[in-house]
Structure 1
Amino acid sequence: MQLLQYIIQQTQLSSKSVENTISLLNEDATIPFISRYRKEMTGNLDEVEIGKIVNFKEIFEALEKRKKAILKALEEQNVLTAELAQKVNNSKDMIALEDLYLPFKKKRKTKAETARLQGLEPLAKMIMSQRVNDLEHTASKYTSNEVETIEDALEGARFIIAEWINERTDIRNNIRRELERYSTISSKVVKKEIDNEKAQKFKDYFDWSESLMRIPSHRLLAILRAENEGFIRVKIEIDKERVLQKMEDRIIRSQNECSEQIQLAIEDAYKRLLFPSLSNEALSIAKEKADENAILVFAKNLKQLLLGAPLGEKRILAIDPGFRSGCKVVCLNEQGDLLHNENIYPHEPQKQTIEAIKKISSLAESYNIEAIAIGNGTASRETEQLVQKIQFKNKVEVFVVSEAGASIYSASKIARDEFPNYDVTVRGSVSIGRRLQDPLAELVKIDAKSIGVGQYQHDVDQSKLKKALDTTVESCVNTVGVNINTASESLLSYVSGIGPKIAENIVNYRNENGSFTSRTAIKKVPRLGGKAFEQSAGFLRIKNGKNPLDDSGVHPESYALVDKMAKDNKVKVVDFIRNKEVLQKINLKNYISETIGLPTLEDIIKELEKPGVDPREKAKAFSFDQNIKSISDLKTGQILPGIVNNITNFGCFVDIGIKESGLIHVSNLSDTFVKDVNAIVALNQQILVKVLEVDVVRKRIQLALVK
């Protein structure tokens, strides 16, 4: 099967769309670039559809690579026939391919191999023929110094037969079907761990059983984590007797002494070879699906977080709150540059409340502060309540900002390079303030896994997780666009076609030569060649540049077309932009060519109407219930404001202003069935919740969404 045919079969997309997308990918085009600027070639495929093509392309290429390796190994063993080569080449998945290779795979010394070396393979073949009348007499001919008794000979023959049974594709596939449809996964607590405090969070799985096919991804990952930490033992089970009967029906054709030996070999093959291998395979497949599910949820959450509402270019006073060590205060200008930093000690044990209020008020006035960002960690509520009491001379909005990953950033090389003369506490506070200004620009500096919007991120396939999260960050950065004259190296590295090295070169060039005045000037950056320019230019913004189109999503390759449109309408390009009256009168069909069709033309008009518009909403101030300071203050039935801070397949977690987040189970999100939690709530959404249940000992809070 060819790559094109395989992807079409898997995605059900049109042949032309897939073929052109593969061609673009082979030319190192990125997903954001293809989906945004090559719509005519792909048939208007979006990023998700192109991502599927990329995924299946990689799967196919891995399969083809494995086929070549297997064919080479078979050829070296002199066992490759035309029929076997055809079967290998026609394999459509890795499992079927490995099953074909199994009989020829070099094995460590097995019981069957030992029996073969003892000369027992002819006896095994005679038993499998099921035509031997006097088996004891026949087996006696195969006794030797190594095979002392008839029973030893029969046992050795059974080992060989068991291996043959294990290598039969039809039997393996039959057991796979049983495992897929009817297997259960069960767990039991390890007795010595039953009172272990760390094990208590897995208490629900101390005695658990469920269909492997139906188990939700989050539960499977939790069970496997508990097993990995040594708190429980996990078993996969199917109806052994039914499987054995099906195997016998396929193999045994007579009722004699041979069939008795074959029956014993079947039981041995199942117990020793087939079930251990295929149950592990089934669990591995279930784990892979659970990983994919968890990674998808993580990626969705990350996208919502990265595209969270920015406050924009405002002067910020940011506070990293604390008790004994005090609160670290920094003041930032509109661009996020550090203007001032110092400590205040408003809480226990120092309790310098009045001094702290005076200091915050004074700093707000001195630095023309427009908003205050307070980290949501230790002493956050107390600090927020303190700030809310201050009577500022000018209007100052107060925001509580997630600190997740701030400590990772503050100790990172990126932070040390940005602030070499300041300690981690100052860097952490700066990060909190910048997150309020622009969450995307700040959060890209942190390893996505450290942001804390997923579940079991350390338990899933790490390479797949990294790839999915990097793709998500890249998509978000290119959706918003990047100001090349202010963007950090981290932010620039995610722009289509750029990457870390060119991002470093851009920043160095900017530092040495000043701001870029046009997109074409970007070509002067070392190693930023024609391909990188093509891929990146449309996503980079030049504010107040020579060409007004440089601050839009219009790609430079379409500038000549825009000039023609403007001339045809007797206006200059600068007057053409935002001129809805003129733009809406244009007959786009007049500008269709071999390379540019309606989708691209419609995108150009949309950009000209609102060039460089930020697709994100603006940040809104929010206040928690001032009477709730700890979990012990919660009572059943209370209605409280909260912010969604994590989304899973089984519900969402809500910050209600205390250390512990509450859970709205999926069943409490709506009166009707909820297929997708993201369809009901979004990350960072401000909502009202009702307290259903409070477990102070286990620190669990059950909530319901208030409509």
Structure 2
Amino acid sequence: MHLISYITSRSQISEKSIQNTIELLNEDCTIPFISRYRKEKTGNLDEIEIGQIVQLKEQFEALEKRKVSVLKILEEQNVLTSDLKQKIDKTDDLTTLEDIYLPYKKKRKTKAETARKNGLEPLAKMIMSQRINDLDYTASKYTSNEVESSEKALEGARFIIAEWINERTDIRNNIRYQLERFATISTKIIKSKKEDEKAQKFKDYFDWSENLSRIPSHRLLAILRAESEDFIRVKIEIDNERALQKMEDRIIRSQNKCAEQIELAVADAYKRLLYPSLSNEALSIAKEKADEAAIGVFTKNLQQLLLGAPLGEKRILAIDPGFRSGCKIVCLNEQGDLLHNETIFPHPPQNRDTDAIKKISSLSDAYKIEAIAIGNGTASRETEQLIKRIHFKNEIEVFVVSEAGASIYSASKIARDEFPDYDVTVRGSVSIGRRLADPLAELVKIDAKSIGVGQYQHDVDQSKLKKSLDATVEHCVNKVGVNINTASASLLSYVSGIGPKLAENIVTYRNENGSFSDRKTIKKVARLGGKAFEQSAGFLRIKNGDNPLDDSAVHPEQYPLVKKIAKDVGKNISDLIGNSSELKQIDLNKYITDTVGLPTLKDIISELEKPGLDPRKKAKAFSFNQNIKSITDLHEGQLLPGIVNNITNFGCFVDVGIKESGLVHVSNLANTFVKDVNEHVALHQQVIVKVLEIDVNRKRIQLSMNYK
């Protein structure tokens, strides 16, 4: 099977689009670049479709690599026949390939191998022929010093037959089918752990049973975590009698003593070889699907978080609140540079709230503060209430900002390099302020797993998770675009075609030579060659540069085309930009060529209408119910304002202004069936929720958005 046919058979994408996309990928083009600037070649595929091609391409290459390895081993064993080679060549999935290879796989010392060494394979073959009339007499001929009796001879032969049965692809696939359709996963609490305090969060799974194919991803991951922490035992079960009967029906064709021996061998093969292996395989497949679902939830949440509403270039006073250690304050300018920092102590045990109010007021005046960002951790509500007592001379918006990952950033090398003369508390406060101004620019500095919007992220395949999260960050960065003259190396590293090393080189060039005045100058950056420029230029913005197109998503390769369009309508490019009425009248068909079609032309016109438009909304201030300070202040029936701070497959979590977030279960999201939670809520969405149930001991809050 060839790569193109492999991908075609597993997707709904046309062969031509696949062929052209693979050519671009082989030329080291990135997914964002291909999706945005090569629409004519791909047939207008989006990033998801291109990502699917990339994934299938990797699967195919892994399969081909394994085939080469298997063929080499079989050649070395001198067992590779033309039929076997052809069979392997035609195989299009790894499971089938491994089943074909199984009989030739080098095994540890097995019961079957011992039996063969004792000369019992001919007896096993005779039994399998099912034509022996006097089996006891035949078996007695195979006794020896190692095989003491006919019974031992028959037992050894059964071990060999069990191994043959285990290696039969049709039997393995039949059991796989039964596991796929009918398997249940059941759990039992380990008695000695029943009262363990840590085990209580898994209380729902102390005695649980469910169809394995239908178990939700979050439940399976929770069960597997409980098992790994040694609180419960997990079993995968099917109807054993039915499975054995189907195996016997495929093998036994007689009713003599050979059939009796085969029946025993079938039971042994199933219990000792087939079921342990294939039930583990079934659980592994279920876990893989659960991982994919959990990673999907994480990537959706991360994308929403990274594309969260920025406040923009404002002067911000950021506060990392605390009680005993005080509240760390920093003042930032419009570019996020640190202007001032100090600590105030408005809360217990010091209670110097009057001094704190005077200090915040004077700093706001001195540094012309336009917004205040308060971290949502310890003492957040108390600090917010303090701020609301202050009468500022100018209007200042107050925002409560998620601290998730701020401590990770503050202790990182990136933070130390940015602020070598300040401690972690100052760095953390700066991060809180900057993520209000631009969540994307700040959050890319933090390991995505530490941002706190995942679902069992530590339990899923870590390499797949990292790959998916990196792709999500890359997508978000390139969707928004990056100001090359202000972006950090962390942000630049996610730009299509750049990467960490070139990002550092860009910052070094900027520090040594000043701001970039046009996109052509980017080529002067060390090691940034033609390919990197092609891939990155359209996503790098230059504000107030020499060429107005440099602050747009129009790729430099299309500048001559834009110049021709402007000339044809009798305008300068700068006069054409933002001139919607003029742009709408342009006949795009006049400019279609072999390489430029309507998709690219429409993108160009759209970009000229609103060059460099940020696709994100603007940040809005929000206030929690000031009377709710802890879980004990809640009561059933309350309506509360809240912010969605995490989304899962089973619902969403809402911050109502206390330490514990409440769960809006999927059944309480709407008055209709909810297939996808993301279709009903978005991360950081401001909502009104109704309190349904409070469990103070377990610190759980049940909420509803379906209360009207």
Q: Is the TM value for this pair above 0.5?
A: yes
Structure 1 Cα separation of the partners of residues 66 and 484 of structure 2: 43
1:344-401 per-residue CA deviation (whole Å, 9 max, x = no partner) reads: 0000100001111111111111100000000000010110111011110000000000
1:89 is matched with which residue?
Answer: 89
Tell me the CA shift for residue 584 of structure 1.
1.0
1:467 lines up with 2:467 in the alignment:
yes
Structure 2 Cα separation of the partners of residues 138 and 413 of structure 1: 76
Counterpart AA for 2:536? S
Structure 1 Cα separation of the partners of residues 626 and 48 of structure 2: 43
Structure 2 Cα separation of the partners of residues 319 and 613 of structure 1: 30
2:493 is matched with which residue?
Answer: 493
2:596 is matched with which residue?
Answer: 596
Partner of 2:487, secondary structure, is coil
The 5 Å alignment of 1:602-681 reads: 602-681=602-681
Partner of 1:467, secondary structure, is helix
1:24 is matched with which residue?
Answer: 24
Tell me the CA shift for residue 25 of structure 1.
0.5
The 5 Å alignment of 1:221-240 reads: 221-240=221-240
2:295 is matched with which residue?
Answer: 295
1:391-416 per-residue CA deviation (whole Å, 9 max, x = no partner) reads: 10000000000000000000000000
1:180 lines up with 2:180 in the alignment:
yes
1:546 lines up with 2:546 in the alignment:
yes
Structure 2 Cα separation of the partners of residues 581 and 155 of structure 1: 89
Partner of 1:641, secondary structure, is strand
Tell me the CA shift for residue 121 of structure 1.
0.4
Partner of 2:9, secondary structure, is helix
1:71 lines up with 2:71 in the alignment:
yes
1:394 is matched with which residue?
Answer: 394
Structure 2 Cα separation of the partners of residues 572 and 702 of structure 1: 60
Partner of 1:647, secondary structure, is strand
2:210 is matched with which residue?
Answer: 210
The 5 Å alignment of 1:447-596 reads: 447-596=447-596
1:368 is matched with which residue?
Answer: 368
Structure 2 Cα separation of the partners of residues 241 and 698 of structure 1: 43
1:651-699 per-residue CA deviation (whole Å, 9 max, x = no partner) reads: 0000000000000000000111000000000000000000000000000
The 5 Å alignment of 1:417-456 reads: 417-456=417-456
Partner of 1:299, secondary structure, is helix
1:479-537 per-residue CA deviation (whole Å, 9 max, x = no partner) reads: 00000000000000000000001001111111111111110100011110000000000
Structure 2 Cα separation of the partners of residues 112 and 502 of structure 1: 59
2:12 is matched with which residue?
Answer: 12
2:690 is matched with which residue?
Answer: 690
2:416 is matched with which residue?
Answer: 416
Partner of 2:463, secondary structure, is helix
TM-score by structure 1 length?
1.00
Point out the more displaced range, 576-585 or 378-387.
576-585
Structure 2 Cα separation of the partners of residues 158 and 470 of structure 1: 52
Structure 1 Cα separation of the partners of residues 70 and 204 of structure 2: 45
1:153 lines up with 2:181 in the alignment:
no
Tell me the CA shift for residue 9 of structure 1.
1.1
Tell me the CA shift for residue 580 of structure 1.
1.4
Structure 2 Cα separation of the partners of residues 335 and 543 of structure 1: 14
Tell me the CA shift for residue 86 of structure 1.
1.0
Tell me the CA shift for residue 178 of structure 1.
0.4
1:147-198 per-residue CA deviation (whole Å, 9 max, x = no partner) reads: 1111111111000000000000000000000000000000001111111111
Structure 1 Cα separation of the partners of residues 161 and 526 of structure 2: 66
Tell me the CA shift for residue 199 of structure 1.
0.4
Structure 1 Cα separation of the partners of residues 142 and 15 of structure 2: 61
1:232-281 per-residue CA deviation (whole Å, 9 max, x = no partner) reads: 00000000000001111110000111111100000000000000000000
2:200 is matched with which residue?
Answer: 200
Structure 2 Cα separation of the partners of residues 574 and 567 of structure 1: 12
1:126 is matched with which residue?
Answer: 126
Structure 2 Cα separation of the partners of residues 9 and 481 of structure 1: 35
TM-score by structure 2 length?
0.99
Counterpart AA for 1:566? A
Structure 2 Cα separation of the partners of residues 452 and 226 of structure 1: 21
Counterpart AA for 1:41? K
The 5 Å alignment of 1:42-57 reads: 42-57=42-57
Counterpart AA for 1:234? V
Tell me the CA shift for residue 630 of structure 1.
0.1
Tell me the CA shift for residue 451 of structure 1.
0.4
Structure 2 Cα separation of the partners of residues 641 and 203 of structure 1: 30
Counterpart AA for 2:490? S
Partner of 1:420, secondary structure, is coil
Structure 1 Cα separation of the partners of residues 109 and 490 of structure 2: 52
Structure 2 Cα separation of the partners of residues 282 and 15 of structure 1: 33
Partner of 1:10, secondary structure, is coil
Counterpart AA for 2:689? V
Point out the more displaced range, 89-98 or 420-429.
89-98
1:98 is matched with which residue?
Answer: 98
User: Structure 1, unaligned stretches of length 5 or more?
Assistant: none
Point out the more displaced range, 189-198 or 638-647.
189-198
Tell me the CA shift for residue 140 of structure 1.
0.8
The count of corresponding residues between Structure 1 and Structure 2 is 707
Counterpart AA for 2:455? Q
Partner of 1:11, secondary structure, is coil
Structure 2 Cα separation of the partners of residues 389 and 48 of structure 1: 49
Structure 2 Cα separation of the partners of residues 392 and 10 of structure 1: 62
Give the CA RMSD over aligned residues.
Answer: 0.6
1:570-627 per-residue CA deviation (whole Å, 9 max, x = no partner) reads: 1111111111121111100000000000000000000001000100000000000000
Structure 2 Cα separation of the partners of residues 626 and 427 of structure 1: 29
Structure 1 Cα separation of the partners of residues 152 and 352 of structure 2: 87
Structure 1 Cα separation of the partners of residues 352 and 149 of structure 2: 92
Counterpart AA for 1:674? V
Structure 1 Cα separation of the partners of residues 87 and 229 of structure 2: 42
Point out the more displaced range, 109-118 or 575-584.
575-584
Partner of 1:561, secondary structure, is helix
User: Structure 2, unaligned stretches of length 5 or more?
Assistant: none
1:255 is matched with which residue?
Answer: 255
1:268-302 per-residue CA deviation (whole Å, 9 max, x = no partner) reads: 00000000000000000000000000000000000
Partner of 1:381, secondary structure, is helix
Q: Which runs of 4+ in 1 moved over 6 A?
A: none
1:110 is matched with which residue?
Answer: 110
Tell me the CA shift for residue 8 of structure 1.
1.1
Structure 2 Cα separation of the partners of residues 71 and 371 of structure 1: 66
Counterpart AA for 2:61? E
Counterpart AA for 1:71? L
Structure 2 Cα separation of the partners of residues 133 and 388 of structure 1: 97
Tell me the CA shift for residue 139 of structure 1.
0.7
The 5 Å alignment of 1:266-305 reads: 266-305=266-305
1:324 is matched with which residue?
Answer: 324
Structure 2 Cα separation of the partners of residues 192 and 520 of structure 1: 70
Tell me the CA shift for residue 16 of structure 1.
1.0
Counterpart AA for 1:19? Q
2:264 is matched with which residue?
Answer: 264
Structure 1 Cα separation of the partners of residues 218 and 401 of structure 2: 27
Counterpart AA for 2:44? N
Counterpart AA for 2:368? N
